[in-house]
């Protein structure tokens, strides 16, 4: 199962458990094990490096899991659970690129100063005019 560019986890490392669903299905749900839970044991994985394992454990814990009970079919719920687990693992492995600081452009500075002048003028017009005592 591809997780991120260059990172793949074999399906044999993901434990799939089926149980009775509380979702749709009426009486059918009372007799079928259509709820699927996908559990990934990070420490036991041979496909991930130490850095990837540490990042996943830090963000999701040692046993990330995903549950699906949306559909009546166990096969469809298995697909949904695996996709949700894949999305969670991909999110945990994503590294936010560092921000490169930039300076505001000349136009941005001029627009900001012009807006400040307009605000000051508007507030000055609200004030009471000076009294003409003499």
Residue pLDDT, tens place only, 74-124: 899 999 999 999 999 999 999 999 999 999 999 999 999 999 999 999 999
Instruction: Give the single-character DSSP code of 52.
Output: H
Could you tell me the residue ranges of all domains in the chain?
Answer: 2-93
Under DSSP, is residue 81 helix (H, G, I), strand (E, B) or coil?
helix
> According to the model, what pLDDT value does residue 45 have?
87
Instruction: Give the single-character DSSP code of 95.
Output: -
Mean pLDDT over 10-34 rounds to: 77
Are 43 and 90 contacting, i.e. CB atoms less than 8 angstroms apart? no
More confident: 40 or 129:
40
- Checking if the pLDDT of 13 tops 90, the result is no
Q: Which fold has domain 2-93?
A: Double Stranded RNA Binding Domain (3.30.160)
Structure tokens at 109: 């500075």
Under DSSP, is residue 43 helix (H, G, I), strand (E, B) or coil?
coil
Helix axes of 74-93 and 50-60: crossing angle, nearest 10 degrees? 110
Structure tokens at 120: 């000051």
Task: With 0.75 as the threshold, say if the pTM is over it.
Answer: no
Are 70 and 34 contacting, i.e. CB atoms less than 8 angstroms apart? no
């Amino acid at each position: 199962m591809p997780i991120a560019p260059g990172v793949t986890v074999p399906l044999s490392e993901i434990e799939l458990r089926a149980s009775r669903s509380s979702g749709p299905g009426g009486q059918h749900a009372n007799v079928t094990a259509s709820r699927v839970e996908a559990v990934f044991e990070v420490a036991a994985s041979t496909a991930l490096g130490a850095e990837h394992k540490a990042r996943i454990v830090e963000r999701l814990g040692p046993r990330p899991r995903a549950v699906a009970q949306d559909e009546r079919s166990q096969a469809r719920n298995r697909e949904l659970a695996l996709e949700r687990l894949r999305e969670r693992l991909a999110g945990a492995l994503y590294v936010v690129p560092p921000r490169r600081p930039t300076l505001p452009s000349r136009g941005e500075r001029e627009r900001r100063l012009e807006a400040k002048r307009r605000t000051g003028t508007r507030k000055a017009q609200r004030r009471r005019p000076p009294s003409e005592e003499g």
